[in-house]
Amino acid sequence: MARRPGRKATAALQVLAAAGVEAHIHTFEHDPRAASFGAEAADALGLDPRRVLKTLVVTTGAGDLAAAVVPVSATLDLKATATALGLKRVALAEPRRAERVTGSRVGAISPIGVRGVRRVLLDGSALAHGSVLVSAGRRGLEVELDPHDLVRVCDALVVPIARE
pLDDT of amino acid 7: 59
What is the pTM for the complete model shown?
A: 0.90
**CA atoms of 145 and 148, how far apart (whole Å):** 8
pLDDT of amino acid 44: 79
Task: List, run by run, the mean pLDDT of 10-residue segments along the chain (164 residues).
Answer: 58 94 89 76 86 95 91 96 96 95 91 93 97 92 96 97 94
Domains, the chain: 11-163 (3.90.960.10)
pLDDT of amino acid 132: 97
pLDDT of amino acid 6: 47
pLDDT of amino acid 110: 96
pLDDT of amino acid 144: 96
pLDDT of amino acid 164: 85
Strand 132-138 and strand 24-27: the pairing is unpaired
